[in-house]
Amino acid sequence: MTQLSVNINKVATLRNARGENMPDVQRFAMECERLGADGITVHPRPDERHIRHDDVFMLRPLVKTEFNIEGYPSDEFMDLVLKIKPEQVTLVPDAPGDLTSHEGWDVVPNMEFLTGIVDRLRDAGIRTSIFVGTDVENIKAAARTGTDRVELYTKPYADLFPKDPEAAVAPYVEASRAAHRVGLGVNAGHDLNLENLEFFHKSLPYLNEVSIGHSIISDALYMGIGETISRYKQCLKSK
């Protein structure tokens, strides 16, 4: 069954708006796990505008499922994850001021850099995932870095889905198959929601994990986090 990792960045954004500890990020993460989440994702950015470094340290002993830390592998980020040792690190090519991820890695020009990062993480016993688009040759290049998985950037799918679901998902089906052929696990994330997730999951072979934050937190405002996680998990039931 495809795993659901809940990205809790937006909970930290709400907390930071008042400068106090409400909502409590750590408590929320534990509640997500209790209610069925298969993992917790955070993306600590350099300006700490949502998840802070001290959040990551406090979460590490609390998260009992999979802890996934996303980010650009700067020296500061690498120092953090090598101290924390999460189960998975997802490497994204975000510039420091980006509001959100908006593209995957162009692997070949960054091959030496990414290979060195993956080597360091593997030596620390951390699974790696490289954030990519659906280009098959780029995915093959990602495999040559030694990464364990790729995470497919799904905003193009989400944008096209309302008009043409089959056309929207077709490149992702091909990308997932290509990743599997070269020995990579497949994660996916960005703008997946209750309208488009079930179709994506049913269409895609070899999908190990989805990481979803903004939509889950938004839906939880209306339905509560328990009902929200239940509905997202329902979308990921076995094909």
Does position 11 have pLDDT exceeding 80, yes or no? yes
By residue range, what is the domain housing residue 97? 3-235
Neighbouring-strand partners of residue 187: 151, 209
CA distances 230 to 26, 104, 154, 199, Å, are 20, 29, 22, 17
pLDDT in the model for residue 106: 96
Q: How far apart are CA 59 and CA 206, in angstroms?
A: 29
pLDDT in the model for residue 101: 57
**Least confident segment among 22-31, 98-107, 139-148:** 98-107
Between these two residues, 38 and 100, which has the higher pLDDT value?
A: 38
pLDDT in the model for residue 100: 54
pLDDT in the model for residue 238: 72
CATH of the domain at 119: 3.20.20.70
pLDDT in the model for residue 19: 87
Number of domains in the chain: 1
Q: What is the pTM of this model?
A: 0.95
Give the pLDDT confidence of 182-235 residue by residue, as tens digits. Answer: 999 999 999 999 999 999 999 999 999 999 999 999 999 999 999 999 999 999
pLDDT in the model for residue 1: 87
Phi-psi domain of 103 (left: phi exceeds 0; alpha: psi -120 through 50; beta: other) = beta
Give the residue among 126, 145, 237 at the shortest CA–CA distance from 183: 145
Active site residues per annotation: 43, 70, 190
Give the pLDDT confidence of 70-106 residue by residue, as tens digits. Answer: 999 999 999 999 999 999 999 999 765 555 556 799 9
